[in-house]
Structure 1
Amino acid sequence: MNKVIVLYRRPAGKPVPGDFKTNIEEIPIADNGEVLLKTRYVSVDPYLRGRMNDTDSYVAPFELDKPLQSGIIAEVIDSKHTQFKIGDMVLGNLSWKEYQVSDGVGLRIIPPDPEYITAYLGVLGMTGLTAYTGLTRIGKPKTGETLVVSGAAGAVGSIVGQIGKILGCRVVGLAGSEEKVELLTSRFHFDVAINYKTEPDLSAALKTACPNGVDIYFDNVGGSISDAVLNQINKYARVPVCGAISLYNDAAPAMGPYIQPVLVKKSALMHGFLVSDFADQFNEATVQLTAWLKAGKLTYHETIVEGFDHIPNAFIGLFEGRNEGKMIVKI
């Protein structure tokens, strides 16, 4: 039989296990022009929370009683498609099902190298592309500039900081535990890491960590943390806004400082983006990320949760800070 995880109800605030339901179906059969896929690895990402709300956004909301979807690596176990053979490993935006059929549209065959296979859900996939394009195309880093990254120990943030170091920046990361702070400086080579949860005066800590101010702020979290960073930005600073995870579960929009005076006074650029905005640059980005990875200039960290039934809890864990780097569920 085939397990399928569906959206049972729309969350009120932070998602809870009861918002999801597991259904049992028969394993489907591939027809002509189709492949039968067995799910091997599932990516859970913060942006999925927005799709759980029934609101207009840049992508359609998930439907109730229908499977959720995310980036998935699957194995072809039966093929009646000319472009795929049994044993191929493929990457695509697929449903949270143990088994499913596909007509091949949107599937990409990836190398079966066990050392790098999960990297295609992270540093060599949407995560890495988000970090690379957001930083290089909006942040436009220059040697000697100061880059601050919030959510720095997360999947995107950890890669942004490393790219910043490669490109010659002083990099400061904000994270929510001492373990993550240690990870940022020891594994990802950030110059400074700050635990925003235990720091009594974040603004003062940022001034110490950024004696020359902030030239680029890569914003993954929004909220009061970003307010503190924006008060430190320099003239002509650039602020790529990748996400606002601290606000995703708010029932009503939180009120914060008005940012317009800061942006005007500093002639600063704040630019929200989706990775798809830079789709025409994915090939260039993938080539560069792969080269850095194989040269040992870029590394990545993964939090692996095992078991299909644990997909919802792994997703919920993103909002509780239970991930270091990319959160992946191994099936």
Structure 2
Amino acid sequence: MEVGGGEARTEVENKQIIFKGFIETTPTETDMELKLGNKIKLKAPKGSGSLLVKNLYLSCDPYMRGRMRENYDSYIPPFTPGSVIQGFSVSRVVDSDNPDFKPGDLIAGLMGWEEYSLIQKTEKLRKIQPDDIPLSYYVGLLGMPGFTAYAGFFEVCTPKKGENVFVSAASGAVGQLVGQLAKLHGCYVVGSAGTNQKVDLLKNKLGFDEALNYKEEPDLDIALKRYFPEGIDIYFDNVGGAMLDAALVNMRIHGRIAVCGMVSQQGRYDPHGVHNLFNLVVKRIRMQGFLQSDYLHLFPRFLEEVISLYKQGKIVYIEDMNEGLESAPAAFVGLFSGKNIGKQVIRVARE
């Protein structure tokens, strides 16, 4: 039980973010609502095997847009209208009826967008050992986005030293780590972003060789030829659409394209599609979609290597931190117009 006002509290208000209903367009703040007045007991029911946790940090991720679509046929089910939105979180155990967890433990996993969550299924939760690494990094650098970058780059892209690497949405949660891993691997790396501020970060803080503001390029094909006169060996695709089309034209023979996300296509249907797919044939390009969950056997190695690189100062990680649960809808919506700089995180409560 938590202590407040000089005495132990057994019940508190539990603010929640509710998903109102299925959508077909780009999400707006009005597709979600802040629910007040809901009470929750600070106790895990006896015999339930459950955990009562206080959520500290919530992750905003583009994949969540898919879960707002009815009949979402994918690797994770859609949200339920009228229910709490779900996402990755770092949380602290308040009470436990599970022998594997005790009050005070820090955990990461899928939680509700709410101040407190009662967790029945604990199989996929992982404990976090307190360290000198920010806790919020466990929904970013050391969480799903970081592991997506690691598995996608090393397992899907199969990089070789000296290759030419292009990363779209390069200042985002995944792209910023892909670029740094590629540089450490000895590659030439160019990233794209949507503002000059982000371009500056890519070159001067994240160590990319070059970066471009795609919004200022009238012809993406010509732009990529300028940065890759000899062609692209690896394209790590986070956006799809016109950028993918331009990259296809500029790929080298036996190039690889890791299809991580298509944020440019979220919320709208492009009837024209991608025009340059024939390059897959003539250039013998391997283009592969993937999920980080396909490679979970590599997660311990990922943690060890990336934590070591971070502590040595060989990689940095940029976060965009919003304060308070009530800021979550606007932060999530901002992902689809590029408002965030770095990994978008919501701080729900102080550690």
TM-score tier (shorter): over 0.9
Corresponding residue to 2:45 among 31, 43, 46: 31
Structure 2: how far apart are the matches of 1:17 and 1:260? 36
Question: Are 1:50 and 2:50 an aligned pair?
Answer: no
**8 Å Cα contact 1:111/1:117 also seen in 2:** no
Distance (Å, rounded) in 2 between the aligned partners of 1:163 and 1:254 = 35
Q: How does 1:164-183 map to 2 (within 5 A)?
A: 164-183=182-201
Q: Provide the aligned length of Structure 1 versus Structure 2.
A: 330
Runs of 4 or more consecutive aligned structure 1 residues displaced over 6 Å after TM superposition: none
Aligned to 2:6: none
1:144-223 equivalences under 5 Å are: 144-223=162-241
Counting only pairs closer than 5 Å after superposition, residues 276-295 of structure 1 correspond to structure 2 as: 276-295=293-312
For residues 25-74 of structure 1, what are the alpha-carbon distances to aligned partners after superposition, in whole Å with 9 as ceiling and x for unaligned?
21133113332111110001000000110121221111111111110111
Shift of 1:138: 1.2
| One of 54, 66, 80 as aligned partner of 2:97 | 80
Selected match of 2:26 from 7, 10, 14: 14
Residues 209-249 of structure 1 show CA distances to partners (whole Å, capped at 9, x for unaligned) of 11221000000000011111111000000000000000011
For residues 179-232 of structure 1, give each alpha carbon's deviation from its aligned partner in whole angstroms, at most 9, with x where no partner exists. 000000011100000000012232222112112210000000000111111110
Structure 2 residue 98 is the aligned partner of structure 1 residue 98: no
Partner of 1:275: 292
2: CA distance, partners of 1:285 / 1:113: 17
Shift of residue 22 of structure 1? 2.5
Give the counterpart letter for 1:48 in structure 2: M
**What's the CA shift for 1:83?**
2.2
Give the secondary structure class of the aligned counterpart of 1:327.
strand
Inter-partner Cα distance in structure 2 for 1:34 and 1:62: 22
SS class of match (1:237): strand
Deviations 1:137-189 (A, max 9, x none): 11111111100000101010000000000101000001000000000001110
1:113 Cα shift? Answer: 3.5
Alignment-derived partner of residue 78 in structure 2: 61
User: Pick from 108, 130, 135: which aligns with 1:117?
Assistant: 135
Shift of 1:256: 2.9
User: How far off is 1:114 after superposition?
Assistant: 5.9
Measured after TM superposition, the shift of residue 21 of structure 1 is 2.1
Q: Distance in 2 between matches of 1:17 and 1:174?
A: 27
Relative to structure 1, the CA distance from residue 22 to residue 120 in structure 2 (aligned partners, 3 Å threshold; closer, same or farther) is same
Q: What is the letter of the counterpart of residue 94 of structure 2?
A: I
TM-score normalised over the length of structure 2: 0.91
Residue in 1 that maps onto 2:326: 309
Residue 78 of structure 1 deviates from its aligned partner by: 2.1
Partner residue, 1:2: 14
Q: Is the 8 A contact 1:247 1:254 kept in 2?
A: no
Residue 147 (structure 2) aligns with? 129
Moved more, 232-241 or 209-218: 209-218
CA distance in 1, matches of 2:102, 2:271: 51
Whole-Å Cα distance in 2 between the matches of residues 108 and 58 of structure 1?
A: 20
CA contact (8 A) 2:23 2:70 kept: no
Q: Give the TM-score taking structure 1 as reference length.
A: 0.96
The answer as to whether partners of 2:149 and 2:177 remain within 8 angstroms in 1 is yes
Mapped to 1, the partners of 2:192 and 2:260 lie a distance apart of 15
- The alpha carbon displacement at 1:116 in A equals 2.4
Give the drift of 1:8: 0.4
Which 10-residue stretch deviates more, 74-83 or 319-328? Answer: 74-83
CA contact (8 A) 1:304 1:329 kept: yes
Instruction: Indicate the SS of the match to 1:228.
Output: helix
* Corresponding position of 1:322: 339
**Counterparts in 2 of 1:114 and 1:11: CA distance versus 1, 3 Å:** farther
How much has 1:280 moved relative to structure 2?
1.8
CA contact (8 A) 2:248 2:277 kept: no
Q: Residue 138 of structure 1 corresponds to which residue in structure 2?
A: 156
Bigger mean CA offset, 51-60 vs 253-262: 253-262
SS in 1 for 2:320: strand
